Amino acid sequence: MNGSTIIFYLLAALTLTCGLLSVSTRQIFRAAIYLLFSLVGIAGIYFWLQYEFIAAVQIVVYVGGIVVLIIFSIFLTQQAGEKLAKQKLDRKIFSALAVFCGFALTMLQVYQHDFNIAGTTAAPTVGDIGRKMLNVNDEGYALPFEVISMLLLAALVGCIVIALRASPNPSQGGALKASDKKDIHLNP
Amino acid sequence: MEPGLYHILFISAALFFIGVYGFLTRRNLITMLMSIELILNSVNLNFIAFNKYVWPDKMDGLFFTLFIIAIAAAEAAVAIAIIINLYRSHKSIDVENAEDLKY
């Protein structure tokens, strides 16, 4: 029982406990904070697995980006202090039963399968990741890299158009909205 | 016992089903989005675990994880834009109240 094992079990306990609390608490701001701790726990597991680059990306994008975005939207749409509506008990019981059966079935299949666990090799360095990501030759990931940059651009433009506030002047509302959308529309 | 592949698969499966439970029981759209983020993170953990323990000389799982993180960020942004738009017209983000297209 060395330190590495203890740290792993602590991280696993943090992740699962905060995940459970995040889906069951009735206060929405606390759910966001529990989600934050759960994602930090998962980043800790990535650090324990010696995949430091993925852990850093997880902290920067998920914890520092998505959870902050969720907290922004909580403050923009409702009071953070109000309690959420109480869910019907039979719905909770049926969901818990279905989820527990699914989990038991999955773990049964996983434990019965023999994976070819290979010997320990060093984790890929950031240089290896970079060389493979921008490689246009065999087994390179340059094409998904470019496609994802287009996806992010589309998501950016889409979010701005969707969340654009309607024109405050009702008499010129139609014309202004149409011209606004025309200005933002990307020319091919 | 030395933590290995099966421990991490247990954690990722548990996290996945916790996310599914949250998605099925929650009525608020933002908490449903949080449950979807838990599901996506469990899938990421699965990819990294298989990359490290079963195919340690390849990097496919790692790249899948990177792209899933990027796609999840884009999807969360679009979902929150839709939620804000829905809140402006309905003054509520309860999923039971978004029934204008219902027969």
Q: Read off the pLDDT of residues B11-47 as tens digits, 9 standing for 90 and up.
A: 999 999 999 999 999 988 999 999 999 999 999 999 9
- Which of B11, B24, B69 lies closest to A12 in CB terms? B11
C-alpha of B98 from chain center:
22
Q: Where are the domains of chain A?
A: 1-85, 124-188
What's the confidence (pLDDT) of residue B99?
Answer: 79
Q: What CA–CA distance (Å, rounded) separates B100 from A186?
A: 31
The pLDDT tens digits for A9-35 are: 999 999 999 999 999 998 999 999 999
Q: List chain B residues with CB under 8 Å of A152.
A: 70, 73-74
How close B72 comes to chain A (CA, Å)? 9
The pLDDT tens digits for A26-59 are: 899 999 999 999 999 999 999 999 999 999 999 9
Return the CATH number of B5-90, one of 1.10.1740.10, 2.30.42.10, 1.10.260.40, 1.10.287.3510.
1.10.287.3510
Q: What CA–CA distance (Å, rounded) separates B30 from B93?
A: 8
| Nearest residue to B11 (alpha-carbon basis) of A11, A118, A166 | A11
For residue A167, what pLDDT band results from cuts at 50, 70 and 90? low
What's the confidence (pLDDT) of residue A160?
Answer: 92
Residue A87 to residue B26, Cβ atoms within 8 A: yes
Q: Could you say which architecture CATH assigns to the domain A1-85?
A: Up-down Bundle (1.20)
Helix count and strand count (H, E) for chain B = 3, 0
Whether B90 contacts chain A with CB within 8 A: no
Q: What CA–CA distance (Å, rounded) separates B21 from A148?
A: 30
How close A175 comes to chain B (CA, Å)? 20
Of A74-83, A129-138, A142-151, which gets the smallest average pLDDT? A74-83
